[in-house]
């Protein structure tokens, strides 16, 4: 699977950051869609991970202490964490995700964490299609819905 090496490296750092503070993140988003479907046309710009809602304020303090650049999008329950030209989104699980709590174990470059199930991921993109601001975003989400539906149907 072709992904920006700096993004992979930073994702590993952020997974370990979360785990060192007692949180096992749940990976989701485009990275996971590409992982499940193996569709190389999916471009992964960032990695999205759900964390417990209560972890975000703690993470902010820890990031400030380590002088790591971030942006807190309170209205979205999202903490965007930056390193160079890549970023990781730490999303508040219960604030954002209302789908099935069906998680899988995933090995991310040798690190164990959780991942949203294909059906959970499909739920996100179906909701996301309705919330898209631009026709480009809507097309991207719609394509991921179709890819995930195809993947899920191939496993049944």
**In whole angstroms, how far apart are CA 153 and each of 10, 73, 99, 117, 146?**
33, 35, 19, 14, 11
What are the phi and psi torsion angles at 83 (to 5°)?
-150, 110
* pLDDT, one tens digit for every residue, the chain (156 residues): 677 888 999 999 999 999 999 999 999 999 999 999 999 888 898 999 999 999 999 999 999 999 999 999 988 889 999 999 999 999 998 887 888 888 999 999 899 999 999 999 999 888 887 777 788 888 888 899 899 999 999 987
Q: What is the CATH number of domain 5-117?
A: 3.30.460.40
Domain segments of the chain as ranges = 5-117
C-alpha dist (Å) from residue 77 to 12, 115, 135: 22, 19, 24
């Amino acid at each position: 699977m072709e992904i920006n090496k700096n993004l992979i490296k930073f994702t590993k750092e952020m997974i370990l950051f979360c785990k060192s503070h007692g949180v096992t993140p749940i990976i989701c988003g485009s990275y996971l869609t590409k992982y499940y479907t193996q569709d190389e046309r999916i471009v992964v710009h960032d990695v999205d991970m759900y964390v417990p809602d209560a972890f975000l304020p703690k993470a902010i303090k820890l990031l400030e202490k380590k002088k790591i650049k971030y942006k807190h999008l309170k209205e979205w329950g999202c903490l965007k964490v930056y390193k160079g030209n890549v970023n990781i989104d730490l999303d508040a699980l219960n604030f954002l995700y209302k789908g099935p709590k069906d998680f899988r174990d995933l090995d991310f470059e040798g690190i164990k964490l959780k991942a949203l199930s294909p059906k959970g991921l499909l739920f996100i993109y179906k909701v996301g299609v309705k919330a898209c601001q631009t026709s480009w975003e809507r097309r991207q989400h719609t394509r991921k819905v179709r890819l995930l539906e195809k993947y899920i149907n191939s496993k049944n």
